[in-house]
Amino acid sequence: MTVSVAVAGASGYAGGEVLRLLLAHPEVEIGALTAHSSVGDLLGEHQPHLLPLADRVLEPTDPARLAEHDVVVLALPHGASGALTAALEAIDGPTPLLLDCGADHRLTDPAAWDAFYGGDYAGAWAYGMPELRHAGEPGPARAQREILREARTVAVPGCNVTAVTLALQPGVAAGVVRADDVVAVLANGYSGAGKAAKTHLLASEGLGAAMPYAVGGSHRHVPEIEQNLAVAGATGVRLSFTPTLVPMSRGILATVSAPLADASTSAAEVRAAWERACADEPFVHLLPAGQWPTTAAAVGSNHTVLQVALDERAGRVVVVAALDNLGKGTAGAAVQSMNLALGLPETLGLPTTGVAP
Ligand SMILES: NC(=O)C1=CN([C@@H]2O[C@H](COP(=O)(O)OP(=O)(O)OC[C@H]3O[C@@H](n4cnc5c(N)ncnc54)[C@H](OP(=O)(O)O)[C@@H]3O)[C@@H](O)[C@H]2O)C=CC1
Ligand SMILES: CC(=O)N[C@@H](CCC(=O)OP(=O)(O)O)C(=O)O
């Protein structure tokens, strides 16, 4: 099987990483590469690391052109994909498999969209986190990967959301932690903010400094994390979420804590819950006891690397998660979801090793 894949937003960071992964994917032929302000430029001017595609010309983001493909990956700013995908779906003929790396189709609650994004609500698509488990439904817990196998439209999760959800889900699903007092503090690389120039992201200000942002519960990923934890079986979710920019280009290190549901739970029982949840996951890796995740261990790979500990004095479980915001945090999740929706092996073409030092 060879599938043709178009990438919209090919000049951006997320689009560039999608292309890097697709170049190594054995079943993919890369089709149209589209952009916005850089239409007409060569891809090599914007993505110098993607040498095999350096001579490709960036095309306008035209729904009819995108519709010529088997798969379309959208890596556009928030709010840009809703109208575009509506136009794409209205075109006669089979609609391509659509994967949206932006936020437009992630939230199932229109009120949450209004509160944190605003503008037209585009509806919710199949959520592109194969590891998410639906605990709240009758019958055995269903993994999101089963839903993705049937999906034709996929909303790729936010990168911070992936780190916090994969960190805490094992404890929520096992009933080991309560989710009514979750605290997440993250160190974030600059590429998470995208390529568009932002004054607070000047190298002269960011190099050598750590800078918190979206403090006080205003970050757009709060409702998405709450949504995921509720799917995993949590009730009454309350989350304090604080990201911090640190001088690295890629990577997220999330430190997430939550109170023990039962104060008598031992450290061994806590660890056992995470071991069970991670055992069969190809891209969620629990380190041996005593080792701690670093962003360097995850950058370049599709892994989320975890460690869990019990803080007995505080009565809280502490989980540290590291991932590559552009890898498992975006492009890797898009390709993993694409594989499932196309009936391919879930792990096909996805890197399992990082880049170090
Ligand atoms: N960076 C990250 O770590 C993550 C990003 N995402 C999401 O992925 C999406 C892309 O992010 P990122 O790559 O970082 O952003 P960038 O700013 O790096 O890239 C944005 C891309 O979208 C194109 N574009 C801008 N406006 C329009 C428009 N109106 N119509 C069509 N194309 C447009 C740009 O083209 P041009 O350059 O020609 O103007 C560029 O190719 C966002 O929704 C982001 O939230 C999700 C998870 C993590
Ligand atoms: C450093 C930085 O600014 N990171 C971004 C990550 C964006 C992301 O994950 O994607 P979506 O915007 O598609 O949700 C942030 O925290 O908002």
Distance 306 CA to ligand 1 centre (A): 28
Beta bridge partners of residue 317, listed in sequence order: 258, 310
CA distance 183 to 169: 14
The pLDDT value recorded for residue 268 is 98
Ligand 2 atom closest to Cα of 329?
Answer: 9
Ligand 1 atom closest to Cα of 8?
Answer: 32
CA distance 283 to 2: 24
Summarised one tens digit per residue, pLDDT across range 73-104 is 999 999 999 999 999 999 999 999 999 999 99
CA distance 40 to 56: 10
CB of 156 closer than 6 angstroms to any ligand 2 atom = no
Contacts of 301 (CB under 8 A, 6+ apart): 324, 327, 328, 351, 352, 353, 354
Neighbours of 264 (CB within 10 A): 6
Question: Which residue, by CA, sits nearest to atom 10 of ligand 2?
Answer: 158
Q: Stretch 145-170: mean pLDDT, rounded? A: 98
Summarised one tens digit per residue, pLDDT across range 326-357 is 999 999 999 999 999 999 999 999 999 999 88
Question: Which residue, by CA, sits nearest to atom 41 of ligand 1?
Answer: 9
Question: Which residue, by CA, sits nearest to atom 14 of ligand 2?
Answer: 158
Summarised one tens digit per residue, pLDDT across range 27-57 is 999 999 999 999 999 999 999 999 999 999 9
CB of 188 closer than 6 angstroms to any ligand 2 atom = yes
CB of 193 closer than 6 angstroms to any ligand 2 atom = yes
Distance 128 CA to ligand 2 centre (A): 16
ipTM for this prediction: 0.98
Q: Which residues are catalytic?
A: 159
Site to substitute for ligand 2 among 73, 159, 211, most atoms within 8 A of C-beta:
159
Q: Which two tokens stand for residue 321?
A: 């998660």
For residue 140, pLDDT over 90 is answered with: no
CB of 160 closer than 6 angstroms to any ligand 2 atom = yes
Distance 325 CA to ligand 2 centre (A): 8
CB of 128 closer than 6 angstroms to any ligand 2 atom = no
